[in-house]
Structure 1
């Protein structure tokens, strides 16, 4: 089984998935860099342009007996049995991004994307509401978020979409 954990940068994906036990966790952004699974470097955004076909092929080659958890803001673009979309209030998320050194403009752009439900909408469009699990991380510690992700993996949580609303940020 493949579970994608996605969300706007700063929602807590890496921090939460590092606390999962019993699953194989792939931090996709690291794999993209380490395996050269990108087509170019976007110097304006200081980021890599992901090679989606190459990533899908690489993911298909990963064999595991435990659930495979793929973590990245891009994870929802790939095949998955379940997709967890981590959400965080844009103001908190923007602070997190700025604290880790992101430029103000990039942090604000991501905050607006979070308020507009961009990743949630893309996830529902690609995987459907029946395979999407929205988790608000705003007031939760990483262990609690990991616990909720674990419930999704085990099939102990119902799909949820549209329960989080940050339109007040706009």
Structure 2
């Protein structure tokens, strides 16, 4: 079984992927480690204090390395950017306020926090996943309040066919409230 976990940074992807890997006994590939190991960079962004990933090269190398793997879990926020062979695609979502808190704890620069929170508010990872994967394979998982263990059980129910839908996540009311508060 081929599983992709994507979503905003600090949404809980890595934690869920590790626990899912243990439960299913599938090998786990953390995209960030893979990118560093294979040196798949096209530059450095000083403003964001981050290396810029060459997405085309990343897709190519992932397919070379893992394209034929029958059982694998791939985890990383860039996995929404291009299609890979997958049985399930889980887009991990998190309330913007929780994301801000998590990112601050990890020392993210203000610019990166703002960009990532805006991406979450605008459903960026979910929209991009829908552009790159079959809709029937994509499930949103809200990691804001449910524990990682409960989310893993939720995901396993989807995989086993016991649950037909993921969570319905929509931060548009939140986005509207924030926009309106700026006007007053």
| TM > 0.5 | yes
The total of aligned residue pairs comes to 168
Match of 1:45, SS state, is coil
Identify which of 102, 118, 126 aligns with 1:120: 126
- The answer to whether the 8 A contact 2:48-2:111 is kept is no
Choose between structure 1 and 2: higher helix proportion.
2
Q: Which moved more, 1:111-120 or 1:42-51?
A: 42-51
Question: Partner of 1:164 in structure 2?
Answer: 169
Structure 1 residues 70, 135: CA separation in 2 closer, same or farther (over 3 Å shift)? same
With normalisation by structure 1, the TM-score equals 0.87
Over alpha carbons, which structure has the higher Rg?
A: 2
Please name the residue that 1:98 is paired with.
Answer: 104
Once superposed, what is the RMSD of the aligned Cα atoms? 2.0
Which consecutive segments of 4 or more residues in structure 1 shift more than 6 A? Answer: none
Correspondence for 2:40: 37
Which among 54, 69, 73 is matched to residue 69 of structure 1?
Answer: 73
Partner of 2:62: 59
Does the 8 Å contact 1:3/1:153 carry over to 2?
Answer: no
Partner Cα separation in structure 2 for residue 126 and residue 59 of structure 1: 15
Q: What does residue 137 of structure 1 align with?
A: 143
